[in-house]
Amino acid sequence: MHSGIRRATTLRNNFGYSLGLAALAFASFGCQTDVIDYPLDPQQVGQVDADLVLRTYNAHRERLEVRVAKQGLDPKEKDRLLREFLKTFTDTTDTGNIPIEKAYQYADMFRLAGDWKTAENLYGASVKWAEGRKDYDRFTNDALRQAWCLAELGQVKPALALARRTYTVPPAAKAPILFAVLYEITPAARGKGEDKELAKLIADACAQHVQVRVDPASASGQALIQGRAYHMRVAMNTVIELYGNDARNPEARELVGDIATLLAAERRF
C-alpha cells in the first residue's frame, strides 16, 4: 500500500511557488472577502511543499476564525473555504512521489482536506518508517492520527488496536496519548459498535498520561500539569457516556474508579 512513497530527502522546490504562497499568507489578512485567492496555479509548480501549504493554511484559519468571532462568518463557511484551499493542493499532489520522512505532513494536509483514506495511507507509511528508526515521538503522533483516520473510515477495531500500540512507548513520548484518544479518536469511534472497548482505551490512556514527566518549570510542563485533573475528569464523564450514561454499570464504575485512583495518586505526587 505504501510502496510508492519514495525514500527521498528533498522535494522539487519552486522559488516562485514559495514566494507566491508567502505573499498569499500575508495578503490574506487584509482580505475581507469570503474567497481565498490563488496567485499561482499549483498545477504549474510541480510537487507542493506540504509544510508551506500547512503554514499558509494556519494563517488563513486564524484570519477566518477572527471573522467568525467578530464579523459573523458562518463556521461552516469557514471550514468549507479551508477545505477548498487545501483541495487545490491535494488534487495536484503525487502521493507516489513523497519523501517518507515528510509523509506525516502530507497526511496532515489530506486529513484537513477531509480525505481520510489518503491520510490514513500516508500516516501508515510514516508509522512504519518511524518504528524502524525507533523514533518514538514520530511513531506515537502518527499512529494516533492513523487510528483517528481509521475510526473516521469506520474501521474502529483496528483503530483502537493501533492506538493501544502507542501505550508501549517510553514515558517521554506518551504526552499526546490521552489528548488524541479523548478528543480525536473517541468522537470518530463512538457509536460504531465498540463503545465498551473505547471506554477501556480511555481509562488506560489516563494511566499512560500520569506516566508523562515534564519539566515543571517550563510553560508547556506547567500547562500539562495544571490541565491534568480537568482532562481526566472529562475522561471519567466520557466513560460513563459510553456506557449509556449508566453510572451504576459495574464495568463503568470500575473504569471510573481506576481513573479516580490515578487522579488521587497524582494529586498526592
Q: 238 or 34: whose pLDDT is higher?
A: 238
* 102 contacts 126 by C-beta, under 8 angstroms: no
- Amino acid 80: pLDDT: 95
Q: Is the pLDDT of residue 186 over 60?
A: yes
Query: What residues contact 197, with CB distance under 8 A and at least 6 apart?
Result: 157, 160
- Amino acid 35: pLDDT: 46
Q: What is the pLDDT of residues 19-78, one digit of tens each?
A: 344 434 434 444 444 544 444 455 545 678 999 999 999 999 999 999 999 999 999 999
- Is the pTM higher than 0.75? The answer reads yes
Across 159-168, average pLDDT: 98
Q: Is the pLDDT of residue 226 over 90?
A: no
Q: Pick the range with the lowest mean pLDDT from 13-27, 62-76, 140-154, 183-197.
A: 13-27
Angle between helices 50-71 and 103-112 in degrees, nearest 10? 30
- Amino acid 215: pLDDT: 79
Question: Nearest-CA neighbor of 40 among 31, 32, 48?
Answer: 48
C-beta neighbour count of 37 within 10 angstroms: 11
Q: 95 or 213: whose pLDDT is higher?
A: 95
Confidence label for 3 from pLDDT (cuts 50, 70 and 90): very low
Please classify residue 46 by burial: count the beta carbons closer than 10 Å to its beta carbon, then call 0-12 exposed, 13-18 middle and 19+ buried.
Answer: middle
Confidence label for 14 from pLDDT (cuts 50, 70 and 90): very low
- Amino acid 176: pLDDT: 96
Query: Taking all residues of the chain, what is their mean pLDDT, rounded to a whole number?
Result: 86
Angle between helices 195-209 and 156-165 in degrees, nearest 10? 20
Tell me the Cα Rg of the chain. Answer: 21
Q: What is the distance between the alpha carbons of residues 263 and 215, in angstroms, rounded to a whole number?
A: 19
Confidence label for 268 from pLDDT (cuts 50, 70 and 90): low
Confidence label for 90 from pLDDT (cuts 50, 70 and 90): very high
Confidence label for 10 from pLDDT (cuts 50, 70 and 90): very low
- Amino acid 43: pLDDT: 54
Q: Pick the range with the lowest mean pLDDT from 34-48, 62-76, 139-153, 241-255.
A: 34-48
Q: Is the pLDDT of residue 117 over 50?
A: yes
Question: Nearest-CA neighbor of 117 among 162, 150, 95?
Answer: 150
